[in-house]
Structure 1
Amino acid sequence: MTRRKIIIDTDPGQDDAFALLLALGSPDELEVVGVTAVHGNVPLARTTINAQMVIELAGRADIPVYPGCPRPMVKPGFTAEYVHGPSGLDGCELPPPSAPLGDRHGVDFIIDTVMAAAPGEISVCTLGPMTNLAVAMIKEPAIIPRLAEVVFMGGGFFEGGNTTPAAEFNIYVDPHAAHVVLASGAPVTMVPIDLTYKAVMTPEWLRRLRAVGKRTAVEAAGMAEFYQDYGNKKFGTDSYPLHDPCVIGYLLRPDLFQGRKCHVEVEIHSPVTSGMTVVDWWNVTKKPANCLVLRDLDNPPFYELMLERIARLP
């Protein structure tokens, strides 16, 4: 497998933290060239610090974090402390970051990095609202044909939404940004909640993670346990999905995932269905496909992969 250069755009969030750890535990396959923070699960000031703390937990303080957009492109902001706790990373105890922030705005980092690289060299993985990437595309459209791929966690179709009956959180928070990215013409892969709801972590897996004994694994287990508690109350089950690591899992093991190319549009007008991802799964409209939409994964080997890679970290 060719080593892939990626920018991770994130709003940590416990599940974002797992995505970061999975990527950082996979240096043979992925080179994380930078991390951009965005508003989302918690406000930007907090997501920026959280990204720094998780990166330092993994022993990679050399990777800079670039703070990006503090609010959606058009609509008012909306956060999810009700899921992730006031810090966004409740369940762990991490010291304040020691490394300095990156030297520019996250949007400019995306533009500069993509323009400086060879065409098709940089992939962008968005784990939260897509504001940073959308603004970068608007500010410098020349990045669009140079992107290798955009892989985003967000949206839903057969499962509906998890924030409103129609909309998944990341798209609901900034539907206009998602609209820009999906209409851009860039190669896009969608990791919707239809897939991520199948990426369930079990109590047994959490016990195995904590039993690794290393600091990163122990702190990650604490995050997961806090996050799982919300899921237990919502779904009445002791197994709850980690959404965002599926983006990194797809990059590492695409053979574990199944989907199809579809035309996808984002509803940006209706107050009732704002943020809905309209996936033409059955090609009813005959519009050209603009997105690879993932729907299924082989869950046991995905979690074995995540355990093995987090166990590599200090």
Structure 2
Amino acid sequence: MPHPGPRLTVIDTDPGIDDAIGILLALASRDFEIAGITTVAGNIGIETTTRNAGRLLAFAGREDIPVLQGASAPLSRPGPEPLNLHGRDGIGGVALPHPTQKPGSQDAVEWMEELLLAQPAGAVDVFALGPLTNIARLILEKPDAAKRIGRIIAMGGAVHEHGNVGPRSEFNLWADPEAASAVVASGLPLVLIPLDVTRRVRATREFIAALGASGKPLAAMVGSLIDSYFESAANRESRPLHDPCVMLYALAPELFRIETLRLSVDTGSVEGAGALTIDELGSPVDVALGVDGAAVLDLLARRLTQER
């Protein structure tokens, strides 16, 4: 069967160590044609997330891909404090070159609108790796463009798992619950990759060593990023590789177990903000609730070490 060709894709992101891993995986995969990277505040502030996107593209030699700066704060509430686990620079202190190109002059949402209106309906996918502020703004402010999205694959939420910023809340949805609610309720094709799956995808030090020994610069860099994502030298496994699961799902959906659930997003108190509830009055969303962790890690390694 002939290869159908790469999917035109926008990566909306707040790099972030695991975001960086996902971005490098996407750049290494011939299945995706990256139209641009749009940035959002989340793991760290907007100036740093935007700079980190440019640094990753400079490292990969892909300065042809534009970076567009997006939302610096949530839709209607104060932004979260930066996450300490990503370090002061957002990417664990891993050495990357300075950006060689300035971010585009357009706002991220305006740029996405132009891209979507210029392409056939359904031709552009969005990989959402951070708070959903930019995507929600597109839906609320540019509905004619938003409805042309092929699908959104978003890392976020916790269904049956305990949250990571509250009893039931995961960081990306908690950081801007109003935006998450707008995206979930939009009716757009949405696949949600929650903590129920991402916590099953963790790398070992042997995995890192194999990436470093491959001779492939992208693989070695991902190894360095994962190495910075261990809680301590004594840990045998890394923290969960949350955001790369978006790209891994797009590459091999058969490795994930998907259920369609009707969901609503809590937009109330700080403690419960962003929590997902299975609700018969909620919106139908395809949710990943299972994963073959070993197989997706093998896929990650193969894609990073193959010839592009």
TM-score (norm 1): 0.92
Does structure 2 conserve the Cα–Cα contact (< 8 Å) formed by 1:91 and 1:224?
Answer: no
Q: For residue 100 of structure 1, give the secondary structure of its aligned residue in structure 2.
A: coil
| Aligned pairs (5 A) from 1:245-256 | 245-256=244-255
| Aligned pairs (5 A) from 1:170-209 | 170-209=172-211
Alignment partners' CA distance in 2, 1:118 and 1:237: 47
Per-residue Cα deviation, 1:7-53 (whole angstroms, up to 9, x for no partner): 000000110011111111112x1111111010000100000010111
- Are 2:110 and 1:111 aligned? no
Structure 1 unpaired stretches of 5+: none
Per-residue Cα deviation, 1:84-109 (whole angstroms, up to 9, x for no partner): 00100124111211122223111111
Per-residue Cα deviation, 1:110-149 (whole angstroms, up to 9, x for no partner): 1111111111111111100000111111111112321110
Change (3 A) 1:14 1:271: closer
Q: For residue 246 of structure 1, give the secondary structure of its aligned residue in structure 2.
A: helix
Change (3 A) 1:263 1:94: same
Alignment partners' CA distance in 2, 1:21 and 1:156: 25
CA shift, 1:220, in A, is: 2.1
**2:262 is aligned with what amino acid?**
H
Identity %: 35
Query: Would you identify which runs of 4 or more consecutive aligned residues in structure 1 move more than 4 Å?
Result: none
Does structure 2 conserve the Cα–Cα contact (< 8 Å) formed by 1:182 and 1:264?
Answer: yes
What's 1:128 paired with? 130
Does structure 2 conserve the Cα–Cα contact (< 8 Å) formed by 1:261 and 1:289?
Answer: no
Alignment partners' CA distance in 2, 1:163 and 1:213: 38
Does structure 2 conserve the Cα–Cα contact (< 8 Å) formed by 1:110 and 1:133?
Answer: no
Select which of 9, 15, 18 maps to 1:15: 18
CA shift, 1:289, in A, is: 4.9
Per-residue Cα deviation, 1:151-181 (whole angstroms, up to 9, x for no partner): 1000001112101122100001000100111
Per-residue Cα deviation, 1:214-273 (whole angstroms, up to 9, x for no partner): 33333322221111226x78xx65343200011011111111111111111110023331
TM-score (norm 2): 0.94
Which shifted more, 95-104 or 211-220? 211-220
Change (3 A) 1:208 1:279: farther
Alignment partners' CA distance in 2, 1:289 and 1:76: 26
- Are 2:303 and 1:303 aligned? no
Change (3 A) 1:219 1:84: same
**1:223 is aligned with what amino acid?**
L
What's 1:51 paired with? 53
Alignment partners' CA distance in 1, 2:302 and 2:98: 27
What's 2:212 paired with? 210
Per-residue Cα deviation, 1:52-100 (whole angstroms, up to 9, x for no partner): 1112222211101000010111111113331100100124111211122
Q: For residue 50 of structure 1, give the secondary structure of its aligned residue in structure 2.
A: helix
RMSD of aligned Cα (Å): 1.8
Change (3 A) 1:182 1:269: same
What's 2:284 paired with? 290
